[in-house]
C-alpha cells in the first residue's frame, strides 16, 4: 500500500495532543511496517521558520511538502496513493485514495461552554463534510465513537472503528537513586516541596476552578503542606482561574508553569504525590495514562472517556463534587498504602496502552479500507 499521513500537526516545536498522537503513530508504524510506502504530507511556506520537518523514521517514509497551495493537498493528487489519513477536518482526500479520518473528540458539541456559536457551527460544517467523505472513521475511545453516533448518525453508519492511543516511551518510572539528578527541573519552576500535579490546557472544560476550590478546602481545613502545580498552556477563558487564585489567597500555593516539555512532564509525574485530572469532558484523557506509566496515583472524573481509560486503576470522582475531590486528595496524600496500591494498579493499566498496539490496529484499518 501507498499511505499518505497528514503530518502538519507535528511541525511545531510546542506540539498539542494531536501533534504527539501523529508523531507517535508515525514512529510506531515505521517500527512495525517495512513493506508499505509512506508519505508524510505537510504544508510549509518558504521562509516559514517556525515549522520543522520531523526526521524520517524509516527508509519507506518520505516527505511530501506543499509550499504553495492554500487549498486541498494537490501535491498528492497526481501521486498514486491508496490511503490518506488525517486527524484534521480541513482536508479532502486525493482522488482515488481511501480516506481515513481519526476523530479525537467533538469538544465544541459536547461542551459548548467556552465556544462561540460560530465555532460550533464551523465544526458542524467541517466535520459533517469530512465524515461524509471518509471511507472509515477512527475514534480514540468508545466514548468518542458514541458521541459521533449520537450527533452525526447518518454520517457514521457502519464506518466507525475504535483504536485506542498509546502512552509514549518517553514516560516511565525514574529509579529512586536517580531522582536527585532531576531536582533542577523542579527548582526551575520554584517547586521546593511536595506537590499535587494537574497537566492540561487552562480552560473551563478542564474544571481547574473546581480543583483550586478543593485544594483551598484542604489548605484551610487540614493544613496540607503540598503545593498545587498547574502545568499547561493558556487556552481560553482562563482569566477567572487566575482571579480565583488571587481571591482565595493562594498565590504562594499554586504554581502555574505554562507549557512544559515531555521530559519535564515525566519528572513532574514522578515527583508528585498525585496527579489529578478532573475534566468535565475528554475524548481521550491521555494525562491519565501518562501518570499511570510514571507510577503516579491518579484521581480523575467519572464522566466521558476517563473511566474507559482509567479502569480500576484511578479514583473516579464526580467533577462537580468539590468536597469529594478534596476528600480523595487527602486520603491519598495521607495513606501510603492507598497511594502505593494506586501506583501499582496504574503501572499495570498503562501496559495495556502501547503505541505498537495502536499502530498495529491502525494498520488493520488501512488494510480493511483497501480490501
Would you give per-residue pLDDT tens digits along the chain (371 residues)?
A: 999 999 999 997 777 788 899 999 999 999 999 999 999 999 887 766 778 898 999 999 999 888 776 555 555 655 678 999 999 888 877 788 999 999 999 988 888 877 788 888 988 898 999 999 999 999 999 999 999 999 999 999 899 999 999 998 999 999 988 888 888 889 999 999 999 999 999 999 999 999 999 999 999 999 999 999 999 998 877 899 999 999 999 999 999 999 999 999 999 999 999 999 999 999 998 999 999 999 999 999 999 999 999 999 999 999 999 999 999 999 999 999 999 999 999 999 999 999 999 999 999 999 999 99
pLDDT of amino acid 249: 97
160-162, strands of its sheet edge to edge? 61-66, 37-43, 2-6, 83-86, 98-103, 136-139, 160-162
b/e per residue 297-323 (b: at least 16 CB within 10 A): bbbbbbbbbbbbbbeebbbbbebeebe
pLDDT of amino acid 94: 77
CA distance 207 to 285: 13
Considering only CA atoms, which of 93, 98, 319 is closest in space to residue 198? 319
Considering only CA atoms, which of 198, 111, 117, 94 is closest in space to residue 151? 111
b/e per residue 340-357 (b: at least 16 CB within 10 A): eebbebbbebbeebbbeb
CA distance 312 to 326: 20
Residues 6 or more apart whose Cβ sits within 8 Å of residue 4: 38, 39, 40, 41, 64, 73, 76, 79, 81, 83, 84, 85, 94, 97
Q: Which three cell numbers stand for residue 7?
A: 503530518
Residues 6 or more apart whose Cβ sits within 8 Å of residue 23: 10, 15, 54
Q: CB 217: neighbour CB atoms within 10 A?
A: 18
All structural domains of the chain, each given as residue ranges with its CATH number in brackets, are 2-166+354-370 (3.40.50.2000), 176-350 (3.40.50.2000)
227-231, strands of its sheet edge to edge? 254-258, 227-231, 195-199, 274-277, 298-301, 315-317
pLDDT of amino acid 66: 84
pLDDT of amino acid 13: 75
Give the angle 254-255-259 at the CA atoms, nearest 5°. Answer: 140
Residues 6 or more apart whose Cβ sits within 8 Å of residue 78: none
pLDDT of amino acid 79: 66
Amino acid at each position: 500500500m501507498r499511505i499518505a499521513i497528514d503530518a502538519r500537526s507535528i511541525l511545531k516545536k510546542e506540539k498539542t495532543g494531536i501533534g504527539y498522537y501523529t508523531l507517535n503513530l508515525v514512529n510506531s508504524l515505521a517500527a512495525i511496517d517495512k513493506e508499505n510506502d509512506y508519505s508524510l504530507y505537510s504544508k510549509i511556506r518558504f521562509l516559514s521558520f517556525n515549522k520543522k520537518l520531523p526526521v524520517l523514521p524509516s527508509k519507506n517514509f518520505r516527505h511530501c511538502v506543499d509550499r504553495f497551495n492554500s487549498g486541498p493537498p494537490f501535491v498528492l493528487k497526481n501521486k498514486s496513493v491508496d490511503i490518506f489519513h488525517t486527524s484534521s477536518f480541513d482536508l479532502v482526500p486525493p482522488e482515488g485514495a481511501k480516506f481515513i479520518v481519526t476523530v479525537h473528540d467533538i469538544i465544541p458539541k459536547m461542551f459548548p461552554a467556552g465556544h462561540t456559536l460560530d465555532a460550533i457551527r464551523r465544526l458542524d460544517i467541517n466535520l459533517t463534510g469530512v465524515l461524509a467523505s471518509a471511507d472509515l472513521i477512527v475514534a480514540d475511545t468508545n466514548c468518542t465513537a458514541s458521541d459521533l453516533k449520537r450527533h452525526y448518525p447518518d454520517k457514521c453508519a457502519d464506518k466507525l472503528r475504535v483504536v485506542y492511543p498509546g502512552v509514549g516511551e518517553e514516560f516511565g518510572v525514574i529509579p529512586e537513586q536517580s531522582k536527585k539528578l532531576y531536582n533542577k527541573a523542579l527548582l526551575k519552576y520554584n517547586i521546593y516541596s511536595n506537590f499535587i500535579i494537574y497537566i492540561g490546557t487552562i480552560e473551563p472544560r478542564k474544571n481547574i476552578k473546581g480543583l483550586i476550590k478543593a485544594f483551598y478546602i484542604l489548605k484551610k481545613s487540614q493544613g496540607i503542606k503540598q503545593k498545587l502545580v498547574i502545568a499547561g498552556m493558556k487556552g481560553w477563558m482562563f482569566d477567572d482561574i487566575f482571579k480565583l487564585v488571587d481571591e482565595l489567597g493562594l498565590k504562594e500555593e499554586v504554581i502555574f508553569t505554562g507549557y512544559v516539555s515531555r521530559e519535564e512532564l515525566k519528572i513532574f509525574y514522578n515527583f508528585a504525590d498525585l496527579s489529578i485530572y478532573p475534566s468535565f469532558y475528554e475524548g481521550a484523557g491521555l494525562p491519565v495514562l501518562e501518570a499511570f506509566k510514571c507510577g503516579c496515583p491518579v484521581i480523575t472524573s467519572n464522566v466521558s472517556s476517563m473511566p474507559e481509560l482509567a479502569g480500576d486503576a484511578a479514583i473516579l470522582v464526580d467533577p462537580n463534587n468539590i468536597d469529594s475531590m478534596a476528600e480523595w486528595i487527602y486520603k491519598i496524600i495521607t495513606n501510603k498504602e492507598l497511594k502505593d496500591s494506586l501506583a501499582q494498579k496504574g503501572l499495570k493499566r498503562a501496559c495495556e496502552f502501547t503505541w505498537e498496539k495502536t499502530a498495529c490496529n491502525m494498520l488493520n484499518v488501512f488494510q480493511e479500507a483497501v480490501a
